[in-house]
Amino acid sequence: MLVLGAENGKGNGGKEKSGARSFTFRELAIATRNFREANLIGEGGFGKVYKGRLESGQAKFIVEVLMLSLLHHDNLVTLIGYCTSGDQRLLVYEYMPMGSLEDHLYEPLSWNTRMKIAVGAARGLEYLHCKANPPVIYRDLKSANILLDNDFNPKLSDFGLAKLGPVGDNTHYAMSGKLTLKSDIYSFGVVLLELITGRKAMDLSKGQGEQNLVSWSRPFLKDQKKFVHLVDPLLHGRYPRRCLNYAEANFRPLINDIVVALDYLVSQRDSHPVSRNAGARGVPTSASDVSQGSNSRRSSSA
């Protein structure tokens, strides 16, 4: 997989929607300087990820639309092109300079930035579930697949890769054996917990009882008075307490309901300064509604 920018550094050069282009292997070898180690930026579900630079004349992507490039949304990483030279199979995506959300979980991100990432990721998932035809089950929603631009605007990546099912012991699929749109909602709840707590979904460097984020968080989610113990200490209490208000959730929410809830939190952020003393009871929807909903009554959510 490759992430490439145009010669002027503006990626695909604007909002113009065009199909993915077929590159020769030689063109991509030149763009990445023969896949130099210095251009290796990570590894995704498809394979190693390199960055490269296209010449301006090669940055006009005007070929026929492929299935992957039919998915267009501000919160989905853009597929620029592909290469099928010989036995080579390469995908070319836009470059996201801040890397993945996973890279920043241990950093002191502000509450506003965390909510910005959450609502953007939710909107991307809403597009896949509600606006794509037919609906798309993302299957691999996790912080490593949420990429960030310079302003921490999130985009979902690896959404077009064919998979037999999600990987890991901390997914709705692993626990229920069923793969549905609600599998993605469970995974989104885990990502939201990561944003709130500043912890990774699985962290073997922590002690027993704290390695699995979902298991560690359950006792706190059962008692509203304990919600404050979930919040990342690096926030130093600088978040609106009303955002942690809780309402009983018997069923896993739909993604459009999650977007409405998070949009509400963002509007409260814009209306009220974030402070240690911010807080009020009685808010009907909140971030914890979504995370608790993603863990409640699995028997009714399949």
Annotated active-site positions, please?
Answer: 140
Full DSSP string of the chain: -EEEE-TTS-TT-SS---PPEEEPHHHHHHHTTTT-GGGEEEEETTEEEEEEE--GGG----SPPPTGGG---TTBPPEEEEE-STT--EEEEE--TT-BGGGGTTS---HHHHHHHHHHHHHHHHIIIIISSS-------SGGGEEE-TT--EEE-STT---SS--SSSSHHHHHS--SHHHHHHHHHHHHHHHHH---SB-TTSPTTTSBHHHHHHHHHT-GGGGGGGS-GGGTT-S-GGGG------SPPPHHHHHHHHHHHHHHHHHS---TT---S--S--HHHHHHHTTS-GGGT-
